[in-house]
Structure 1
Amino acid sequence: MSELLPSDAREAFESHDAYTITDDAATVTTTVFDGEVTVEETEPEWAHSYVVTVTVPTLAAAVADDVGAAVESGWLDTFERRLEDAPKATRASVDLETFDVETRVGEVVVTYAFTSGTPAQAAAIAKAFVEYVEGTYVEGIVPGYDYQPPVSKLLQQAQSGGSDGERGGTPL
């Protein structure tokens, strides 16, 4: 994070092992998908505004096969509805100021914004949001398609049971 960002927020992200700090953001390193957090000072002065952005591939971009328009549309609608529940995945009470799901060419950009007066708790909330998006994406995998990286990597991890090496079923 740059020196222009609030120092207490910068310190909270730097001390958290799930982030790397770039020029103007904290990047979550515990997920396959790109998750980034930016911070701005707000009124009142004791709080900061946190914007969490997660970028994932669309269903059509994640598979080698053709995806029908109805399947893509239904997948995106379900994905978006499930993502609304992200605040319930945290250990804190979070009131979202912004929740947005935007489709761009080949990707879906998910944005959450909230205000917090506790930078360490905000860092944990932001990480939970990014991990929630990734978990929700994996839960919404449509069977029967040949997935490409990075989604195929997520499926392999889910099927093997993670790092312990035990093989399990699909994430569904």
Structure 2
Amino acid sequence: MSELPRSVERELEDHDAFAERENGYELTTTVFETTVTATDADGKRDGRFRVVVSLPGLDAAVADETVAPVVEDGWFETLERRLADTFTVAHTSTHEEPTVERDGETVRVTLEYVAWDAGEGVADAKALIEYVEGTYAQGLIPGYEYRGPAATLLENAQGRGQEAAEGGGESGGMPM
């Protein structure tokens, strides 16, 4: 693993949702493969962050059937448009446009930004990954049976919905 700025490394090590891996840090609270790295930034900034989230394409996420190419393409284009707003959940205002690329059955989302403060940079990494995860979940098309991470996302959402319905939490609906 390349050397992280010490302040960023400390923040990632101290954060209970990140774990060190061979090529950076991963967010352990998501179902997707993630990598967070950072390098030194110019001036008094704590780091230049790079966050990569690997997602299964729609066809790779669907169980027992093939998704028509036109549906897969439309799904990907919609995901790409929705992820254009990813940085609205971040503290940083110094960032590159999100990159969303398909490579076979994998969609790779790359987010690059500069953080003045290592703690905010790490908090942004978590928020950005969670935004990508939520956006992916919202884009799952009803009527298909899903597998892998997509199925896990749906099961988790259904479990939270069931808990709320049984009085274990708020329903998330509009207040009256």
Same fold (TM over 0.5): yes
For residues 91-130 of structure 1, the aligned pairs below 5 Å read 92-130=91-129
Residues 45, 114 of structure 2: 8 Å contact kept: no
Residues 54, 109 of structure 1: 8 Å contact kept: yes
Residues 98, 114 of structure 1: 8 Å contact kept: no
Structure 1 position 67 matched with structure 2 position 67: yes
* Residue matched to 1:80: 80
Q: CA deviation at 1:151?
A: 1.0
For residues 25-64 of structure 1, the aligned pairs below 5 Å read 25-44=24-43, 46-64=45-63
Give SS of 1:52's match. strand
Q: CA deviation at 1:165?
A: 7.2
State the alpha-carbon separation in 2 of the partners of residues 111 and 162 from structure 1.
Answer: 31
- Letter of the 1:81 partner, please give it: R
- Letter of the 1:105 partner, please give it: G
Residues 24/107 of structure 1: CA separation in 2 closer, same or farther (3 Å cut): closer
* Residue matched to 2:11: 12
- Letter of the 2:75 partner, please give it: W
- Letter of the 1:6 partner, please give it: P
Structure 1 position 150 matched with structure 2 position 149: yes
Residues 24/150 of structure 1: CA separation in 2 closer, same or farther (3 Å cut): closer
State the alpha-carbon separation in 2 of the partners of residues 32 and 162 from structure 1.
Answer: 18
Two-structure CA RMSD over aligned residues (Å)? 2.1
State the alpha-carbon separation in 1 of the partners of residues 66 and 139 from structure 2.
Answer: 17
State the alpha-carbon separation in 2 of the partners of residues 21 and 154 from structure 1.
Answer: 23
Greater displacement, 64-73 / 108-117: 64-73
* Residue matched to 1:133: 132
TM-score with structure 1 setting the length: 0.88
Give SS of 2:94's match. coil
TM-score with structure 2 setting the length: 0.86
Greater displacement, 107-116 / 19-28: 19-28
Greater displacement, 53-62 / 80-89: 80-89
Q: CA deviation at 1:96?
A: 1.8
- After the TM superposition, which parts of structure 1 deviate over 6 Å for at least 4 consecutive aligned residues? none
Consecutive unaligned residues in structure 2, runs of 5 or more: 167-176
